[in-house]
Amino acid sequence: MISLEIHRHFPLKKMNTFGIAAIAEELVVVRTAAALHGITQLNRPQIQVLGGGSNILLTGDLPGLTIKNEIGGIEIFLENEHDVLVKVGGGVVWHDLVLWAVEQGLGGIENLSLIPGTVGAAPIQNIGAYGVELKDVFHSLDAYDLLTGESLHFDNSHCKFGYRDSIFKQELKGRLCIVDVYFKLQKNPTLNTSYGDIQRTLQEMGVKSPTIRDVSKAVIQIRQSKLPDPALIGNAGSFFKNPAIEVADFQRFSEKFPEAPHYPQPDGRVKIPAGWLIEQAGWKGERFGDAGCHARQALVLVNYGEAKGEEILALAKKIQASVQDKFGIALTPEVNVW
């Protein structure tokens, strides 16, 4: 059996972007797939996997064994005239992958620049931004079943990708450690610059014929202007999903709130920005002790210093109840509550 260094009573404050002070009963850092086989043989009653800690809210200490996924590596696995299949370790920092792809001239993930977290966590959440979702470039992944000790392979169709959702967040929640992810990237990229502020930002940058590097820089600039840096103030980015409602419900909603921004969806529903709903309900900039709603982006809940996870969660529930009462719309957390 591979020798594993197990850390007991390990502090997690620096391992989650909310900066919540919590303790892992046991923690082991995994850098190879082989090490996972050794973990199964430990026979711990509870095991959870921690990536970059960027999309979780810790509401207490973590019992059992916590795996810190640091499996690395970026390599071209297969390629043809038009596309490249890239194999990436689950512990690779997501933005490091984006920068690598941009440097190689490979398109497809430049709109996902500066999203915090690791590659292994990206399929769980089906991360997305500025008109692109992970499922658009995802080919497949290799995972290790912590319950059975089996090595598993999932292609795109098996993952049940949805809006910030997947099979790994539902039926298989907490059961797998994602070892490697395979992405299909373009040698001759088709740029997606129509969403949000990308086109305007490129114009401000003086760019007339953008490259993937230009799009990446524009997205980084937009994100830095809108979202607080977790290194300066604890947060996990957008706390809630943007709700999509049925057309009949939207018609009733728009009669009362004709000024509300809205975006028709391919499935016939209409998406309403959660940040707008929260701001209109009066929560933007509100602070309760060290838990608060960010002053510039109402969709982001923040830890101003020593907030407990339970306090952030209590604020989230108050916001949900308030939005439901004012608009009749339910907000669903995007962040995983542990």
Residues acting as catalytic residues: 164, 238, 334
Q: Say how many Å lie between the first and final Cα of the chain, rounded.
A: 30
Distance CA 128, CA 118 (A): 14
Q: Strands of 95-213 (E only): list them.
A: 128-129, 132-133, 138-145, 151-155, 176-186
Rg (CA), the chain: 21
Identify the burial level of 117 via C-beta atoms within 10 angstroms of its C-beta, where 0-12 means exposed, 13-18 middle and 19 or more buried. buried
State the Cα angle at 312 between 249 and 50, rounded to 5°. 100
**Strand-pair partners of 303:** 234, 291
The Cα 59–Cα 28 span in angstroms is 21
155, two tokens:
């292609």
Alpha carbon distances (Å) from 293 to 54, 60, 114 = 17, 21, 21
The H or E element containing residue 217 is helix 212-226
CA distances to 79, 135, 166, 191 from 140, rounded to whole Å, are 15, 10, 13, 23
- Scanning 227-308, the segments in alpha helix (DSSP H) are 247-256, 274-280
Q: With beta carbons less than 8 A apart as the criterion, state whether 29 and 50 touch.
A: no
